[in-house]
Amino acid sequence: MHYEGPIYRPPSEADSLLVQATVGCPHNKCAFCMVYKKGPPFRVRPVDEIKRDLDEARGEYGPGIRTIFFPAGNTIAMPTDDLAAICAYAHDIFPHLERVTVYGSSTYIHRKGLAGLIKLKNAGLGRIHVGLESGDDRVLQSIKKGTDSQEQIEAGLWVLKSGIELSEYIMIGIGGKERTHEHAMNTALALNVIHPHFIRLRTFLPKANTLLLHQIRKGRFQALSPHEALRETREIIRNLEINSQVASDHYTNYVDIRGRMPEDRDSMLSTIEDALQMEEEMFRPVYVGTQ
């Protein structure tokens, strides 16, 4: 098995076989993301190489693999035929395979178009994790996401229409104090249109080698306090009008809320209200600036 550069996977892929299909991220500009800032540059691994890694895993672990995740940061950017070829091959050699998953940002999903996504679904791609981050265009622009809400909504709707499961990540606090209300409302609005299977919460935490950390230091971005982040989360949850699974499966979040909308809304809101009773000093630091 060959791995190059940082290898990230969603928490829900903790038990999956990880076979690297791409290296780095072709966008690599998001203002909060440090993962590939120091390289390696984006490239797509040759299909034959990936198949050899799949064969090696088959030899090592046997035919019983049930889930595969193909890192790295934006594997949906791979040429459609290449990605379809490795999805189909994985299903051929692992007859019990239940799910193949990749990360993909809306820009690159959108470039695939509905026809490309249907091709990938037919080849066995089962789920895409998308960093929506925000539904607010000003926030998307300021964090250099390289997309806007319209493109993100279209991309999400095409994923769902193709039959692929959709997991959308949203980032609490990414609009800072200045855009917290607009970020909350427009993110809920975008999610209400897309109606993804899963909504996963991450809370903004400034990282080394990122533009946002630089802006915080220069006083150009005001990060939310724990209570402000909780109130923003509450505003989003209150305004979701969809039947999606919500998860906050990440260490950055101040509170762990999870459940299905709308039936678990009240219990999620009550967890947030309880957390708001805690002193802010009880939560993780907003900013740990050592570099």
Q: Cβ 73 to ligand SF4, closest distance in Å? A: 3
Q: Cβ 104 to ligand SF4, closest distance in Å? A: 9
**Residue nearer to ligand SF4 on the CB measure, 29 or 66:** 29
Three-class SS of the chain = CCCCCCCCCCHHHCCCEECCCEECCCCCCCCCCCCCCCCCCCEECCHHHHHHHHHHHHHHHCCCCCEEECCCCCHHHCCHHHHHHHHHHHHHHCCCCCEEEEECCHHHHHHHHHHHHHHHHHHCCCEEEEEEECCCHHHHHHCCCCCCHHHHHHHHHHHHHHCCEEEEEEEECCCCCCCHHHHHHHHHHHHHHHCCCEEEEEECCCCCCCHHHHHHHCCCCCCCCHHHHHHHHHHHHHHCCCCCEEECCCCCCCCCCCEECCCCHHHHHHHHHHHHCCCHHHCCCCCCCCC
- 75 is a site residue for ligand SF4 (CB under 6 A): no
- 134 is a site residue for ligand SF4 (CB under 6 A): no
Tokens representing 30?
Answer: 């998001």
**Residue nearer to ligand SF4 on the CB measure, 106 or 271:** 106
- Tell me the site size for ligand SF4, rule CB under 6 A: 11
- 73 is a site residue for ligand SF4 (CB under 6 A): yes
Q: Cβ 45 to ligand SF4, closest distance in Å? A: 17
User: Which position among 17, 19, 23, 33 is part of the footprint of ligand SF4 (CB under 6 A)?
Assistant: 33
User: Which position among 18, 21, 23, 30 is part of the footprint of ligand SF4 (CB under 6 A)?
Assistant: 30
For the packed helices 180-194 and 149-162, what is the interaxial angle rounded to 10 degrees? 30
Tokens representing 218?
Answer: 């220069």
- 28 is a site residue for ligand SF4 (CB under 6 A): yes
**Residue nearer to ligand SF4 on the CB measure, 27 or 234:** 27
Q: Cβ 107 to ligand SF4, closest distance in Å? A: 8
**Residue nearer to ligand SF4 on the CB measure, 40 or 262:** 40
User: Which 227-266 residues touch ligand SF4, going by CB under 6 A?
Assistant: none
**Residue nearer to ligand SF4 on the CB measure, 35 or 139:** 35
- 71 is a site residue for ligand SF4 (CB under 6 A): no
Q: Cβ 238 to ligand SF4, closest distance in Å? A: 27
User: Which position among 13, 16, 20, 27 is part of the footprint of ligand SF4 (CB under 6 A)?
Assistant: 27
Number of H helices, E strands in the chain: 9, 10
- 74 is a site residue for ligand SF4 (CB under 6 A): yes
User: Which position among 35, 86, 109, 155 is part of the footprint of ligand SF4 (CB under 6 A)?
Assistant: 35
Per the CB < 8 A criterion, the answer to whether 243 and 262 are in contact is yes
**Residue nearer to ligand SF4 on the CB measure, 105 or 253:** 105
- 140 is a site residue for ligand SF4 (CB under 6 A): no
- Alpha-carbon distance of 91 to 125, in angstroms, equals 10
Residues that bind ligand SF4 (CB under 6 A): 25, 27-30, 33, 35, 73-74, 105, 131
